[in-house]
Amino acid sequence: MHVRNAKAMPGITSPHGETVYELCGTSAGGAAQHSVALITLAAGKASRKHYHPQAEESYTILSGAARVTVGQESAELGEGDCVVIPPLKVHQITNIGAGELRFLAVCVPPWTPNNSVYVD
């Protein structure tokens, strides 16, 4: 059985304000067919614009408010909202709230560092 708790592990923080806690997947273990990461994003910060050549991804908002852009479409998301991001679609998530944004990112197949192509 694979059990990981984000509070008990070090996150990986990027220069643009995103902290990633990989809970399961290729590098975290526990899952061969998908990956799950808890991601936090500071108020006013955004992920880098990117796409995944193979992976379908979904974001589920746990707390906070976000604007997600997928291709040419944008939507505002709040707690409980989920968005699906097809492979090859450029996407970005921005924290539009006053506090920290927390969301789950699920990738199928599992996310790996070489499965993100940055376009900015």
Let me know if residue 8 belongs to a domain: no
* Cβ atoms 65, 95 nearer than 8 A: yes
Task: Give the strand order in the sheet containing 56-63.
Answer: 12-13, 18-24, 35-41, 101-108, 56-63, 82-85
Q: State the residue range of the domain holding 30.
A: 21-118
Let me know if residue 30 belongs to a domain: yes
* Cβ atoms 24, 4 nearer than 8 A: yes
Query: Which residues, 6 or more positions from 81, have their beta carbon under 8 angstroms from its beta carbon?
Result: 60, 61
Let me know if residue 7 belongs to a domain: no
Q: For the chain, how many structural domains are there in total?
A: 1
Which tens digit of pLDDT belongs to each residue from 39-96? 999 999 999 999 999 999 999 999 999 999 999 999 999 999 999 999 999 999 999 9
Say if pTM beats, i.e. exceeds, 0.85: yes
Let me know if residue 15 belongs to a domain: no
CATH number at residue 42: 2.60.120.10
Let me know if residue 1 belongs to a domain: no
